[in-house]
Amino acid sequence: MAQPAAAPTLRAMRAVAPGQWALRDPGSPEAARNSCIADTAMLFRLKLRAAPCSRFVIEDTPRIATVHYTCPGSGHVRTTIHVDTPRALRIESEGIVDGMPFADAYEARRLGACGGRGR
């Protein structure tokens, strides 16, 4: 059964801290995009951040978490996060947003606390 999006922290994410994160497409020559992440659960919803969603936990281990979000009227997202270290993550996300399919992969590195320039 789907749970509210504010459900308890997943085991894989317990050591992962909020803060300034650099997100980079693996293998891309483009610079990383920095984001201030106040709640690490939002790393599962890099798309559909503002939409009200329910979630279903598919996998919850100490190093890997997979969650499926259903956001009525906006779409759905299935994200797997591999926790290499509490400061280094691999994020794979796919789904449909506003009727358009997507598949994204990111390398995420925690840079430190959020500063005045966070997004």
Domain residue ranges of the chain, discontinuous segments joined by +: 3-9+18-111
Spell out a b/e string for 80-99, using b for 16 or more CB atoms within 10 Å of the CB, else e: bbebeeebebebebebeeee
pLDDT in tens, 49-88: 888 899 999 999 999 999 999 999 999 999 999 999 999 9
Please tell me the pTM assigned to this model: 0.86
Q: What value does the mean pLDDT take over residues 89-95?
A: 97
